[in-house]
């Protein structure tokens, strides 16, 4: 049989246990909060690095297309080989990109530690860029020569592509741009970037059958993979604005069409380009 004293002792023990559980819960919550706060602070610190940013880029310029093979099939294994020549045209592009700092590998770490041990300033981490670029061009197809026949359509071929690009810096000036923000380090006034990209492209060739005696240069359209290489010379002109000049080359897919026994094949061809543009950086 329990006495009142025993009952009071049990009640006191239960209250103590409940208080201890509550205290443990508060400590655990505080620990979780501190961990989350430290993680958030670390992430905030990473996000605030001004050398990493999202940017919008617009460019326009001249497209200088080269000639490309054209093959016409008349059926019964009859093949006519020729070439299409293109005149200079125009191009423009819009790019959404992100600049980030390349992670150090073991060799980079060794070089940095060696520089510190010699009392030198270690080289800063190098930036890289990843881009999604919409590219559009328009060139004049002035001559098509197939076998002994030459026609002059003087029409427009308008390729379009969506490129996924990667760019790395390959040179920079010793002259620096000093940002107004005291938290930002000086940045090279000039940088040279080498970029490469790949992505789907679509293009269409107007019909030139009415101009040809064989009635065989039919309209053709299609899609395929396009590739590009580009070299950019960039200058920073303000806190978040960059101007650049670009030279490059784009390789476009070939397309073909078939009507009855006739086929028209436009082979893969290349297009040189020269462009100027502006880039706006959006920093946190």
* pLDDT at position 6 over 60: no
Mean pLDDT of 80-105: 90
The predicted-structure confidence for 223-271, as pLDDT tens digits, reads as follows 999 999 999 999 999 999 999 999 999 999 999 888 777 888 889 999 9
* pLDDT at position 46 over 70: no
Provide the pLDDT for residue 180: 84
The answer to whether 275 touches 61, Cβ cutoff 8 Å, is yes
98 or 112: which leads in pLDDT: 98
Residue-by-residue DSSP string for 114-126:
HHHHTTPPPPPPP
pLDDT tier at 129, thresholds 50, 70, 90: very high
37-51, 80-94, 203-217, range with greatest mean pLDDT: 80-94
The answer to whether 255 touches 203, Cβ cutoff 8 Å, is yes
| Cβ neighbour number for residue 146 with a 10 Å cutoff | 22
DSSP state of 147: T
Provide the pLDDT for residue 32: 44
Q: Which two tokens stand for residue 159?
A: 């390729």
The predicted-structure confidence for 147-185, as pLDDT tens digits, reads as follows 778 888 989 999 999 999 999 999 999 999 988 887 788
């Amino acid at each position: 049989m329990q006495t009142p004293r025993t009952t009071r002792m049990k009640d006191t023990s239960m209250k103590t246990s409940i208080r201890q559980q509550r205290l443990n819960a508060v400590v655990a919550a505080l620990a979780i909060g501190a961990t989350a706060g430290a993680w958030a602070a670390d992430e905030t610190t990473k996000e605030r690095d001004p050398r990493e940013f999202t940017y919008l880029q617009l460019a326009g310029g001249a497209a200088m297309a080269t000639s490309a093979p054209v093959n016409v099939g008349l059926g019964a294994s009859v093949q006519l080989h020729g070439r299409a020549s293109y005149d200079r045209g125009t191009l423009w592009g819009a790019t959404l990109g992100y600049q980030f700092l390349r992670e150090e590998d073991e060799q980079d770490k060794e070089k940095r530690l060696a520089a510190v041990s010699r009392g030198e300033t270690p080289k800063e981490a190098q930036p890289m860029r990843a881009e999604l670029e919409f590219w559009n061009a328009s060139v004049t197809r002035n001559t098509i020569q197939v076998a002994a026949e030459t026609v002059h359509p003087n029409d427009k071929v308008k390729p379009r592509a969506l490129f996924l690009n990667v760019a790395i810096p390959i040179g920079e000036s010793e002259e620096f741009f000093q940002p107004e923000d005291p938290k930002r380090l000086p940045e090279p006034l000039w940088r040279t970037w080498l970029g490469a990209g790949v992505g789907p492209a679509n293009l269409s060739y107007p019909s030139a059958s009415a101009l040809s005696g064989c009635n065989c240069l039919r309209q053709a359209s299609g899609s395929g993979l396009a590739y590009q290489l580009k070299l950019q010379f960039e200058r920073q002109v303000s806190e978040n604005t960059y101007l650049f000049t670009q030279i490059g080359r784009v390789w476009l897919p070939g397309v073909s069409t078939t009507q009855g026994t006739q086929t028209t094949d436009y082979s893969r061809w290349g297009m040189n380009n020269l462009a100027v543009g502006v880039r706006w950086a959006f920093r946190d």
